[in-house]
Chain A
Amino acid sequence: METASNFLNIKDVSTAFKINGQYYDAISHINLQVQHDEILAIVGESGCGKSTLATTIMGLHDPAETKISGEVDFEGTDLLKLDEKGYNQFRGAKIGMIFQDPLSALNPLKRIEEQISEVMDYHTDLSAEDKHNRVIELLNQVGIVNPQRTARQFPHELSGGMRQRVIIAIAIACKPDLIIADEPTTALDVTIQAQILDVLRDIQKENHAGIILITHDLGVVAETADRVAVMYAGQIVEQGTAEQVFNTPEHPYTRSLLRSMPQRDNENDDLYVIKGNVPSLQKMPAKGDRFAPRIPWVPAEAHEENPTMHEVAPGHEVRCTCYKHFQFPDEQGSVTV
């Protein structure tokens, strides 16, 4: 067992997209660490920048349309400084990625075997026979019952769950240290989702990999993650262990999200609704707490002018001081604004 160490250090990373000739930050000043043998969940709603973070780490953005700053330190190499050739040494070999839609993520015209062994073509010098054996081994590992048969099939011949298993097999083929899973179970049924998450966890244990699990589903996070980072409007607003974030959530956004979930104890009540909308990229305020407009009853003084992360417990950080004063309107018993 390797010692836990931060092999991935994301330092102050911002990614801006060009819209009508101007750059707008999709994620701003992200700081994150990932260790071996852990699952870090990044959770947030659509448009919060969680997928942008994943594609930034993978270097999948078109450089003509994006501006990236900061540092992604992967085992001592700053990935953001690499050219395409340099990046290709990491992609597939040391970093594997799993995508949301398992049908469109596979080439419809190639057999499964070909698609899995393609990774090994570029990162190993295995013989054709060794590659074939490894493909079968991988398909076994991700829980496919008849690997010989599946290897010969085309993507459209497989069910959604099977396809996602194939995608995972591709991602782990070269035993990467880091696996980025972007909404890996969103397109799947709950029973299949549970199986896929089990596969991911088993792989992480076997390979001692670090996994970044990107999802909007708080349930999935609570069941799988060791640590959690909650994102809102391009920023991390709360970060901590799964226990910290779920048992003692501090940031108003985290608390609001948990409260808007249909749960056992609010069967007959109305669900909590977060006021307003997420600001669009172009309308993101330059200063102040980005979540402030959605909790209008919290007085302006409670927010910081430039919200920073505050440590509330070892490893548990929250953005902006407003968390100290935050109560839901009905907790105060006052009328909402």
Chain B
Amino acid sequence: MSLIEIKDLKVHYPIRSGFWNRITDSVRAVDGVSFNIEAGETYGLVGESGSGKSTTGKSVVGLEKVTSGSIMYKGLDITKAENRRKLDYNHDVQMIFQDSLSSLNPRKRIEDIIAEPLRNFEHLSKDDEKLRVLQLLNIVGLDADALYKYPHQFSGGQRQRIGVARAVATNPKLIIADEPVSALDLSVQAQVLNFMKKIQREFGISYLFISHDLGVVRHMCNNIAIMNRGRLVEIGTRDDIYNHPLHIYTKRLLAAIPETDVNSREAHRASRLAVEQVYQDQQSKYYDDNGAAYPLVQVTPTHAVALPQTIAQQLASQEGEVQA
């Protein structure tokens, strides 16, 4: 059984208009998303801005009002608040945000920031609590003198590590990491990613890793879902997505990642422009009449793509994948 099973998740926001301000339409931020996160794995959720990936992440933590669908954890649907309470869900699932400065309370010291989830969920004595906070700081590689400082006294990378320390304080089973490194410099990014991996090895935590950066996702994630206009267009293992992409949107994203290989610059550019051309010309093949992605169909046990069955099989055989 998976740690978390997300089934047909929908988050719609109403649009009001007209004289009486009635709900006339809705923004389908998330429109029927299903995937499972296994214990101890890093699941990548990739998409561009406005794809609905952050909304999905917030729904999994319980920060978003879900329109329909279910998120099963330990046999209960945690989209319902009473189930979240019953399971102590917020103890087991934590979140790391992109903007470490605005997500840490500027008027609180690091000690209080990291201890906050402990105080909410575990009633430790003062000494035990302090010991625990020190351990956590140690895990993310910060000194004890950080305890009495305030968030603004740290660099972006250090703050992001404080965010990680806070998130792991309650020994969660799952951490939702929403663009955890996109505001960081390369060298600092490496540090935070290494820490996230180390903590995963030591504590068996699962991550839902939300990012637009396919390079980072490739480094971090075993299984990946590509999201586009509120729907998933492709899910698969790292190998499926990076080496055998089937949906044009996935191909387009992959082609747009800048490569550090200077020598194949022109070839890379040509292939990107070719993919872009297909994307522009064949909208009707890859999207339905409303411009939305098709439902996912399985092409191998691990790999699914949002295309009509026949096209999916045809593309899969071109890619040399074996039909399940």
Q: Do chains A and B interact in one complex?
A: yes
Interface residues of A (CB under 8 A from B): 45-46, 160, 189-191, 193-194, 198, 216-220, 222-223, 242-243, 246-247, 256-258, 260-264, 266-267, 270-274, 277
Residue from A45, A189, A190 whose CB has the most chain B CB atoms within 10 Å: A190
Known interface pairs A189-B49, A189-B212, A190-B48; A218-B269 also in contact (CB < 8 Å): no
Residue numbers in B under 8 Å from A218 (CB-CB): 186, 260
Inter-chain residue pair count (beta carbon < 8 A): 102
A18 CB to nearest B CB, Å: 21
- Number of chain B residues close to chain A: CB under 8 A: 39
Those 4 A-B pairs whose CB atoms lie nearest each other, nearest first: A219-B258, A262-B219, A271-B190, A260-B190
Cα separation A57 to B126 with both chains bound (whole Å): 56
Residue numbers in B under 8 Å from A261 (CB-CB): 186, 190, 215, 260
| B258 adjacent to A223 (CB under 8 Å) | yes
Q: Mark B188-221, 1 if CB is under 8 A from A, else 0.
A: 1111011001100000000000001111101110
* Docked complex: B85-101 residues within 8 A CB-CB of A: none
Mark the stretch among B60-68, B72-80, B249-257, B293-301 that contacts chain A. Answer: B249-257
| A264 adjacent to B155 (CB under 8 Å) | no
| B256 adjacent to A193 (CB under 8 Å) | yes
5 pairs from A and B in contact (CB 8 Å cutoff)? A219-B259, A257-B186, A261-B186, A261-B190, A262-B219
Give the nearest-CB partner of A222 in chain B.
B260
| B212 adjacent to A243 (CB under 8 Å) | no
Q: Is the interface of B mostly helix, strand, loop or mixed?
A: helix
| A242 adjacent to B262 (CB under 8 Å) | yes
| B155 adjacent to A45 (CB under 8 Å) | no
| A189 adjacent to B48 (CB under 8 Å) | yes
Cα separation A160 to B50 with both chains bound (whole Å): 12
Give the nearest-CB partner of B249 in chain A.
A191
Known interface pairs A45-B186, A194-B272, A262-B218; A273-B260 also in contact (CB < 8 Å): no
Known interface pairs A45-B186, A222-B262, A261-B186; A271-B49 also in contact (CB < 8 Å): no
Q: Is the interface of A mostly helix, strand, loop or mixed?
A: helix
| A191 adjacent to B252 (CB under 8 Å) | yes
Known interface pairs A216-B185, A267-B219; A222-B256 also in contact (CB < 8 Å): no
| A267 adjacent to B238 (CB under 8 Å) | yes
| B269 adjacent to A223 (CB under 8 Å) | yes
| A46 adjacent to B185 (CB under 8 Å) | yes
| A217 adjacent to B194 (CB under 8 Å) | no
Cα separation A274 to B191 with both chains bound (whole Å): 8
Residue numbers in B under 8 Å from A220 (CB-CB): 258
| A223 adjacent to B186 (CB under 8 Å) | no
B318 at interface by CB-CB < 8 Å: no
| B252 adjacent to A271 (CB under 8 Å) | no
A89 CB to nearest B CB, Å: 36
Cα separation A271 to B193 with both chains bound (whole Å): 8
Residue numbers in B under 8 Å from A46 (CB-CB): 156, 185
Give the nearest-CB partner of B185 in chain A.
A45
| A243 adjacent to B262 (CB under 8 Å) | yes
Q: Which of A189, A243, A266, A271 contacts B263 (CB 8 A)?
A: A243
Cα separation A264 to B215 with both chains bound (whole Å): 8
Residue numbers in A under 8 Å from B156 (CB-CB): 46
Cα separation A193 to B252 with both chains bound (whole Å): 12
B267 CB to nearest A CB, Å: 11
Residue numbers in A under 8 Å from B189 (CB-CB): 260, 271
Cα separation A260 to B216 with both chains bound (whole Å): 11
Cα separation A242 to B263 with both chains bound (whole Å): 9
Cα separation A218 to B265 with both chains bound (whole Å): 13
Residue numbers in A under 8 Å from B260 (CB-CB): 218-219, 222, 246, 258, 261, 263
| A160 adjacent to B185 (CB under 8 Å) | no
> A216-B185, A223-B258 known; 13 other A-B pairs, CB under 8 Å?
A46-B185, A191-B252, A194-B272, A217-B258, A219-B258, A222-B260, A260-B186, A260-B187, A260-B190, A267-B219, A273-B190, A273-B191, A274-B187
